[in-house]
A and B are shown apart, each in its own frame.
Chain A
């Protein structure tokens, strides 16, 4: 939840009719496309400056594919993705490079998303170096500042990922994402792989960083409880389409779509009496 719930004016990220199909090929001698997997099937949403849009859906809903398509990590089949008003769908790698400073991503698996052969200082500092922002001792200083800002210590600079716990590794991933001071951070299931007590820490950290740096988040997860906590607005995805969109309270308290209702009803209530009530009433 943000303090400044986004400003008026044009949205930071505007996605319209985004489509990503994966072809299914068959054939004896030559492969022919016989069908498609419609991973993302006409999706539209917007993220405003400084606010959090939660994208909630189960496995196979297409939410991860949608994120990658937005960032042009995979090429969308069709549709429009506008960042700060500029169309980026279909842009090649070179054209996307300067934009990478503005749009970053945090990944789900803290054990797989950090290069085990690189030291933490390198992992966090490489983006700064590549984009020519800083080098040498200035680079080091900035990286150490970042490490402290995400709750680690500047002396972790020289350590390797395997020396850290899952939660700490996720913090490293966050530091890396923030190093270029992006405007938009896409968080793809950032806490699912962590212990419950650590999840809360990371969510709170993301909240704090959003207030401090004015970040916009596209927060993707399957845990609607966490999504509700951190999001201003929520979009619910099912089978490649967005079935419902609205403010977090609207979607969670007065859902309109059948799937959303089903999703909310399935969340176990950590309260035995309520749970028994629910069973009696169903």
Chain B
């Protein structure tokens, strides 16, 4: 098991390195335009461009340029130019908002998704299953950019129970923090609830037909023991790995639309802004931030999977 974890960690470092090289090549090397020009952004002055050229060393060799870039990233010197602020600081500032949004939504979608999936599976074919299936499919089908405005209209404008956007930090006012996040959470979670409930339902139905479930019943275990210890345990394994990857992607930035609609000042919003203005440093910063989380979650998922399913662990003794 330790060997497995070590391998995965090495893999993670390798992938992150590769991603950083790709970011470098895509943003610095490939474009025909002078990279300094791109970095300076839309409102660049020739003086600014010259300064950037010197700072970043674009007359040096490519590997040297890469090293310079990485150094800038790690020492927080990656600076966006309008307004003139360090990218790293800005990202760090916006992380609490994004994390509040994504972690909260993730907990909601995981809980309800699994609950609905479980109920559907144990009552498969019945009226409850049919209703829940309909709900799930509706959830999967409604686009975020439709759901969000509708929720805002109903709860914020008409009923006036919830605010219509923006983010309030937890330290400032926990209640407001919560109120401001409820609609965004629901928006972000609805799609995944539908999806996860389908996945769990499907897995459970498959597992319920497995021979070892029959063995469990033949041993004299109660239905509840059979369902939790054997069926649910085995059905959850693929769901957990799915969740890990999903969550990684969400943190990395797929919450962009939700952040934009609800005007939440998180990393996603920052990225959307930067793309609109075509400011290279923030784009690069967010790309690396995103890659980091995706790879991290990916690695965690691999390790958790190996813990849950012993067959996956490489290097264990083969059958006698």
Contact = CB atoms under 8 A, between A and B. Distances in A.
* Direct A–B contact present (CB less than 8 angstroms): yes
Contacts of B14: 29
Report the interface size class on chain B: under 10
B315 A28 contact: no
Interface string A16-35: 00000000001011000000
Interface in B1-43: 3, 6-7, 10, 14
Interface residues of A, number: 3
Contacts of A28: 3, 6-7, 10
A28 B13 CA distance: 13
A127 B314 CA distance: 41
Contacts of A26: 314-315
Interface string A247-280: 0000000000000000000000000000000000
Is chain A's binding surface mostly helix, strand, loop or mixed?
loop
Interface string B301-320: 00000000000001100000
A182 B3 CA distance: 50
A29 B315 contact: no
Nearest to B315: A26
Interface in A1-44: 26, 28-29
Nearest to A29: B10
Contacts of B7: 28-29
B313 to A, nearest CB: 13
A218 to B, nearest CB: 28
A29 B6 CA distance: 9
Nearest to B319: A60
A26 B4 CA distance: 11
A28 B8 CA distance: 9
B100 to A, nearest CB: 38
A29 B17 CA distance: 14
Interface of B: 3, 6-7, 10, 14, 314-315
Interface of A: 26, 28-29
9 contacts: A26-B314, A26-B315, A28-B3, A28-B6, A28-B7, A28-B10, A29-B7, A29-B10, A29-B14
Given A28-B3, A28-B7, A29-B7, 6 more contacts: A26-B314, A26-B315, A28-B6, A28-B10, A29-B10, A29-B14
